[in-house]
């Protein structure tokens, strides 16, 4: 299990543990159990940054630091997937052409717009998250984003025959999906109690819709679509908790 944890850590973050980790189908798939845990660790980092720096710098500037830290410590993996997926899915209606565009490292107009939208939505949500749900947003958003990748991988087949994304999709089995889901949902409801349903249900709908769309449009999932979904769920979690906090404060 330690090997799978290290694979998840090295795959999802800037941390480089060992060069000889076995990124095989079995090992990479089993590492999915630890994806939400790595997401929670990222959440703890940005939550700590928020706690430490909030007394010293203005909130809008601190929010920029937090959004940058999330991207940096996850090596921009999900933002890159979001950009490539936006270019591929919106740039062509042909499956093979879409996959070719997504494989291209260059970022097009749709990719730039998608990344800008994600960053701006996070920043604005954090600007408005000033109460008790701010900590929950910082802790839960990265975790839910990484969990979404496991759900999509389990619910899809590879859209390509090669690549780490295809290896991960083939490797994730029910065990990884179930354990990752139990861990994630337990923390969501421990943090938000019954109000967690107001966050979980819209996110579940987003995951289901995007997964079905990619399966129909591309014939399955790629590493880019996994990252795109993770980024969308992370962003949506910030926004949902911002709405929840605002609604409760007005009530």
Look up the domain containing 50 and give its range.
Answer: 2-9+25-243
Q: At 53, is the pLDDT very low, low, confident or very high (cuts 50, 70, 90)?
A: very high
Per-residue pLDDT, 167: 92
pLDDT digits 0-9 by tens, 55-67: 999 999 999 999 9
Nearest C-alpha neighbor of 239 from the set 212, 213, 202: 202
pTM: 0.95
- Sequence-separated contacts (24+) of 243-246 with Cβ below 8 Å: 244/133, 244/195, 244/198, 244/199, 245/128, 245/129, 245/131, 245/132, 245/133, 245/134, 246/128
Summarised one tens digit per residue, pLDDT across range 203-220 is: 999 999 999 999 999 999
- Determine the pLDDT at residue 251: 61
- Degrees (nearest 5) of the Cα angle 14, 74, 170? 95
At 88, the pLDDT band (50, 70, 90 cuts) reads very high
Mean pLDDT, range 102-123, rounded to an integer: 94
**What pLDDT is attached to residue 115?**
97
60 is a domain residue: yes
The answer as to whether 53 is a domain residue is yes
Separation of alpha carbons 161 and 159, rounded Å = 7
Tell me, yes or no, whether 134 lies in a domain: yes
| Higher-scoring residue by pLDDT: 55, 28 | 55
Nearest CA among 46, 71, 39 for reference residue 184: 39
Question: Which residue would you say has higher pLDDT here, 148 or 93?
Answer: 148
Q: What is the pLDDT of residue 233?
A: 98
Q: How far apart are CA 81 and CA 224, in angstroms?
A: 4
Would you state the pLDDT for residue 122? 98
Residue 62 lies in a domain: yes
Total domain count for the chain?
1
Is 127 within a domain? yes
On whether residue 136 sits in a domain, the answer given is yes
Quick one: 220 exposed, middle or buried, by C-beta within 10 A (0-12, 13-18, 19+)? buried
The distance of Cα 236 from the centroid of its chain, to the nearest Å, equals 10
Whether 232 is in a domain gets the answer: yes
Average pLDDT value over all residues in the chain: 93
| Residue 78, in any domain of the structure | yes
């Amino acid at each position: 299990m330690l090997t799978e944890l290290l694979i998840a850590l090295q795959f999802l973050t800037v941390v480089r543990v060992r060069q000889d980790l076995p990124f095989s189908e079995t090992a990479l798939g089993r590492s999915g159990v630890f994806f939400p845990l790595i997401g929670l660790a990222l959440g703890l980092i940005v939550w700590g940054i928020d706690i430490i720096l909030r007394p010293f710098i203005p909130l809008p500037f601190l929010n920029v630091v937090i959004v940058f830290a999330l991207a940096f410590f996850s090596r921009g993996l999900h933002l890159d997937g979001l950009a490539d997926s936006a270019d591929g899915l919106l740039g062509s209606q042909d499956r093979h052409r879409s996959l070719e565009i997504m494989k291209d490292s260059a970022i097009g107009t749709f990719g730039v717009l998608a990344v800008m939208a994600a960053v701006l939505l996070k920043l604005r949500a954090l600007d408005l998250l000033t109460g008790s749900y701010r900590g929950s947003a910082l802790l839960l958003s990265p975790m839910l984003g990484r969990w979404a990748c496991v759900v999509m991988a389990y619910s899809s087949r590879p859209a390509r025959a090669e690549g780490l994304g295809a290896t991960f999709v083939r490797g994730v089995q029910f065990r990884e999906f179930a354990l990752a889901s139990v861990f994630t949902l337990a923390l969501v409801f421990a943090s938000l109690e019954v109000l967690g349903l107001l966050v979980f249900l819209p996110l579940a709908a987003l995951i289901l819709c995007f997964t079905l769309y990619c399966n129909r449009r591309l014939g399955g999932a790629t590493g880019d679509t996994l990252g795109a979904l993770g980024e969308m769920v992370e962003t949506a979690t910030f926004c949902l908790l911002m709405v929840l906090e605002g609604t409760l404060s007005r009530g």
